[in-house]
Structure formats: C-alpha cells, structure tokens
Amino acid sequence: MRKTGSQNVGSPSRLSDARIEKLGGWRAEMLTNLRTLIKQADPEVIEEVKWRKPSNPAGVPVWSHDGIICTGETYKNHVRLTFAKGASLQDPKGIFNASLEGKALRAIVVHKGDEIDGRAFKALVRSAVALNISTGHS
C-alpha cells in the first residue's frame, strides 16, 4: 500500500485520478470534492483501488487508515460513499442517508445538485479513523 501522494504511474492515487477523469461530469466533480475532503480530514489516509473485475475494471476507490474508512462508488444517477463502520459513528448533522438499518455500514448518497456539509463530512471521516485506531483493526 502506498500513501496518497505517491507519484508512481500505477499508484492507487493515479488509478483513482484516471477513473475520475474517465467518469467525467458532475459525478467526477463530486467524487473529486469528497476525495479532497477525506485527504483534508486525514492527511495520512491511504488510497487504494480494490475489487477490480471484468464488470468493473476500474475498481472501487477505498480510503483507509488502520482499516477501511470508506469506499467511493459511482452509479448512473448518484455517488455513494459507504463507511465500513458507519453504524458505530455519531452523525450529529445527519449526513448518512442510506443503509441506515444496517448493523455495520452507513452510506452517503449524493445526487446531482446535492451539496455536502464539508465540516460535518470531515468530522465523520475523523471519527471513522479514531474508531479504526481504537479498535486496532487494520
């Protein structure tokens, strides 16, 4: 695993760059903004691309710090950030809006024109990192 700032052509960060560039449009812009907020919230975050397969050759961007923080998936009509341990996180601003009944996961689904509360999102990322560190899961 390499840190997000890696300059290697095949680095996970570059793979995410290529995936976002190919995606284009509002979804690419939103994923780029969310990615920036994640990096601001945790400068030590590790960015990877996982779960590459023939039906999804670009894979899924994954952000980790002592375990998965969240994944970033794009669909035709929305962008979805799924927090691996979201059910264990406090969400005082109510930005989780999907997978609310799950025992572990929580997600944020963003549609065209939606805005994300950057401060609340970064607090959620920091909480996820703190939880990963405190539980010692890597």
Give domain status of residue 117, yes or no: yes
- Cα–Cα distance, 83 to 44 (Å, whole number): 17
Phi, psi of 137 (to 5 degrees): -90, 125
**Rounded to two decimals, what is the model's pTM?**
0.82
Say if 97 falls within a structural domain.
Answer: yes
Angle at 30 between CA 53 and CA 101, to 5 degrees: 70
Whether 114 is covered by a domain: the verdict is yes
- The CATH number for 127's domain is 3.90.1150.200
Number of domains in the chain: 1
What range does the domain containing 21 cover?
12-135
**SS3 category, 36:** helix
Considering the domain boundaries, does residue 61 fall inside one? yes
Over residues 28-52, the pLDDT tens digits come to 899 889 999 999 999 999 999 888 8
Q: Contact, 72 vs 13, CB < 8 A? A: no
Is 6 inside a domain boundary? no
The answer to whether position 4 is within a domain reads: no
pLDDT in tens, 93-135: 999 999 999 899 999 999 999 999 999 999 999 999 999 999 8
Considering the domain boundaries, does residue 2 fall inside one?
no
101 is a domain residue: yes
